Amino acid sequence: MRNAELIHKLERKGLTLGSVESITGGLFAATICAVPGASNVFKGALVTYSNELKKNLAQVSNETIEKHGVISGQCARDMAVNGLQNLGVEVCVSFTGNAGPTMMEDKPAGLVYIGLSILNKMTIVQKYRFVGERNQVRELAVAAAIELVLDHLVDTK
């Protein structure tokens, strides 16, 4: 993974990073914090595994959950945008999905939505369908998020 490269790029740009995680259960935060010097840019994470915490901490609305479900692009978008504000960071990544092994919300195992919000100027959501066992899906989601952030930092600041 390119977690060290991400930390150094954020540091050069003077940007801070945070995450709002569901499916990954804090794995993104742990991966980032494994890099010496991560504390220079990484402010923290919200692990919102339950729907209750998605509502209370990530401020995902009941309407979003009822209309789209928690495994949805809209939920990932809300988590990233609200995380940017709640964590006081310039870059926030969010994760929601189904690591498996069974269907959830009629959505297949391996379906992951990753949200990215940067400086309140851009927010995107990418949909992925990873193949593998539960923890492989989580690891693939973290790796995809690191690449997503690196790709979109090019035009930032």
Instruction: Answer whether residue 157 is part of any domain.
Output: no
Tell me the Cα Rg of the chain: 14
Scored b (16 or more CB within 10 A) or e, 96-113 reads bbbbbeeebeebebbbbb
Residue 149, phi then psi, degrees to nearest 5: -65, -45
- The confidence score (pLDDT) of residue 104 equals 85
- The closest alpha carbon to 13, from 157, 121, 137, 124, belongs to 157
Residue 126 covered by a domain: yes
Which pLDDT score, from 0 to 100, does residue 1 have? 63
Q: What is the pLDDT of residue 154?
A: 74
Domain count, the chain: 1
Structural domain range at position 125: 3-152
CA distance 106 to 6: 34
Q: Would residue 130 count as lying in a domain?
A: yes
What CATH code is carried by the domain that includes residue 129? 3.90.950.20
Q: What is the pLDDT of residue 35?
A: 97
Exposed/middle/buried for residue 132 (C-beta within 10 Å: 0-12, 13-18, 19+)? middle
Domain-located, residue 74: yes
Structural domain includes residue 30: yes
Neighbours of 119 (CB within 10 A): 12
Kindly report the pTM of this predicted structure: 0.96
Taking each helix axis as running N to C, give the angle between helix 3-13 and helix 134-152, from 0 to 180 degrees, rounded to the nearest 10: 30
User: Which residue ranges of the chain lie beneath pLDDT 70?
Assistant: 1, 155-157
Residue 69 is predicted with a pLDDT of 96
